Chains A and B, each alone.
Chain A
């Protein structure tokens, strides 16, 4: 049976992906992500081994309480407001990167911007000069 340290769980996809028995399920809505750990027979400890936050432990079946569920509110992109990630995941990325890489050359906090907007920003920057040069002032 799996015990979850709620304060450590990032709400990532690791345990749901590695569980060979589909005992860990994930439910997504546009605003939230829920992870649910079903009772299991401790035949393996893949989820424990691969948890990036070391939030999972195996406990004997009789010591386990209810099946744990954690629900995360997803963080909204600073630009498009689409919800794209859990806060602990983004905080984890902040802590794993050196400070100078957390802002781009223009000082933008890219971690708090969704991947779609990041691509758009990059495209806008790359084409800026080109657009200026090609724009016709009059037909």
Chain B
């Protein structure tokens, strides 16, 4: 399952970027963007249901593996089509394509584990549950 972000918790520390680079041999797939002084958000692969990168890939190197958009390095020719076919700009190609693989082989993605603000999770509902809880607390306090 993809990694979801609770933007209200992101503190823009870039720990996820560093963790991603650390476990992928220096090539990271997360970019933390700052929105002025007010907010920040990590941008990474959505593991789209209808993944356009897999449609552009003609060798089958990029493919859907259940919810994951997976990558087979052995089949990649480094043509660069997938990089141009990602609507979010989160597939890279330099000699060979690289993208988020949800840290295959690890129990949890490195970005998620290293986030000090607990902003990342693999639970789609978590962010909305937290938002509802915050709203309920505000009501209970009479604000």
Number of interface residues of B (CB under 8 A): 34
Please tell me which one of the listed residues B35, B56, B81, B87 contacts residue A104 in the complex, with CB atoms under 8 A apart: B87
Nearest residue (CB) in B for A124 is: B35
B56: which A residues are within 8 A, CB to CB? 92-93, 96-97
Interface residues on A, range: 35 or more
The answer to whether B90 has its CB under 8 Å from any CB of chain A is yes
What 0/1 pattern do residues 60 to 102 of B give for CB contact below 8 A with A?
Answer: 0000000000000000011111011111111001011000000
Please tell me which one of the listed residues A17, A118, A134 contacts residue B95 in the complex, with CB atoms under 8 A apart: A17
Q: How many A-B residue pairs have CB under 8 A?
A: 110
Q: A97-B55, A97-B56, A130-B7 are in contact. Are A13 and B89 (CB under 8 A)?
A: no
The answer to whether A57 has its CB under 8 Å from any CB of chain B is no
Nearest residue (CB) in A for B35 is: A127
Contact A134 B80 (CB under 8 A): no
B88: which A residues are within 8 A, CB to CB? 118-119, 122
Main SS at interface, chain A:
helix
Q: Which residues of A contact B (CB under 8 A)?
A: 10, 12-14, 17-18, 50, 52, 84-85, 89-90, 92-93, 96-98, 101, 104, 110-111, 114-120, 122-124, 126-128, 130-131, 134-135
Shortest 10 CB-CB contacts between residues of A and residues of B:
A123-B33, A115-B89, A118-B89, A127-B35, A14-B79, A130-B39, A17-B78, A12-B79, A119-B89, A127-B39
Q: Which residues of B contact A (CB under 8 A)?
A: 5, 7-8, 31, 33, 35-36, 38-41, 43, 50, 52, 55-56, 58-59, 77-81, 83-90, 93, 95-96
